[in-house]
């Protein structure tokens, strides 16, 4: 294999996720700054700042609502990071599969059954369980934000119908294994090429 082909294979083995990481860094910094500013403002309030001293409590309550909205933005960002990571895996592996397995070009690999038909060994690839959990979390987010029966049945620490939560930790936990899955799947695809 020439150096160009090796370069492409090495590129294919790597899941690029830097923009998701950057998004999370910026989101977390922004939310932390915003919450700190609101908390500082709230703690510095005194009745002397208001024409009617009774307004201080109403304004402090308003600041608390803004803090809650900032936490909600963080939760939304964590959901988006999971969706983005899953979409990255889906697009990246789909492109490699369609390029290396000619019979896959007519398939919609977003449907797991079609993906499994083209890559029947997928369940034996290292990191497959992390990929599956990521896929099922993604589906649960997109379909109401509650833990689906399939996610709960396959991963006992998720409880059916609970609100999806802890996604920042789930992202950090799944990312290394999902990267391993992409690498091992691509290695297998390249090894099986015609």
Q: How far apart are CA 189 and CA 194, in angstroms?
A: 10
For 4-57, the DSSP string reads HHHHHHHHHH----HHHHHHHHHHHHHHHHHHHHHHHHHHH--GGGSSSTTHHH
Q: Helix (H, G, I), strand (E, B), or coil: what is residue 133? A: helix
Q: How far apart are CA 162 and CA 142, in angstroms?
A: 14
Q: 16-37 pLDDT, tens per residue?
A: 999 999 999 999 999 999 999 9
Q: How far apart are CA 150 and CA 147, in angstroms?
A: 8
- Burial group, residue 133, by CB count within 10 angstroms (0-12, 13-18, 19+): buried
Q: 109-156 pLDDT, tens per residue?
A: 777 778 888 888 999 999 999 999 999 999 999 999 999 999 999 999
Query: What Å distances lie between residue 42 and 32, 35, 55, 73, 133, CA to CA?
Result: 15, 10, 13, 20, 41
Measured between its terminal Cα atoms, the distance across the chain in Å is: 14
Q: 39-67 pLDDT, tens per residue?
A: 999 999 888 888 888 889 899 999 999 99
């Amino acid at each position: 294999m020439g150096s160009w082909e090796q370069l492409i294979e090495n590129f294919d083995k790597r899941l690029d996720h830097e923009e998701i990481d950057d998004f999370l860094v910026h989101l977390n910094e922004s939310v932390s700054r915003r919450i700190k500013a609101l908390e500082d403002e709230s703690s510095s309030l005194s009745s002397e700042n208001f024409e009617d001293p009774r307004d201080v409590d109403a304004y402090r309550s308003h600041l608390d609502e803004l803090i809650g909205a900032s936490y909600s933005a963080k939760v939304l960002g964590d959901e988006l990071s999971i969706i983005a990571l899953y979409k990255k895996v889906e697009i990246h592996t789909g492109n490699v599969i369609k390029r290396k397995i000619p019979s896959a070009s007519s398939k919609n690999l977003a449907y797991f059954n079609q993906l499994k038909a083209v890559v029947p060994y997928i369940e034996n690839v290292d990191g497959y369980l992390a990929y599956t959990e990521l896929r099922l979390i993604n589906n649960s987010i997109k379909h109401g934000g509650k833990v689906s029966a399939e996610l709960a049945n396959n991963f006992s620490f998720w409880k059916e119908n609970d609100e999806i939560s802890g996604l920042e930790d789930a992202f950090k936990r799944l990312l290394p294994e999902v990267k391993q899955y992409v690498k091992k799947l691509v290695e297998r695809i390249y090894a099986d090429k015609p």
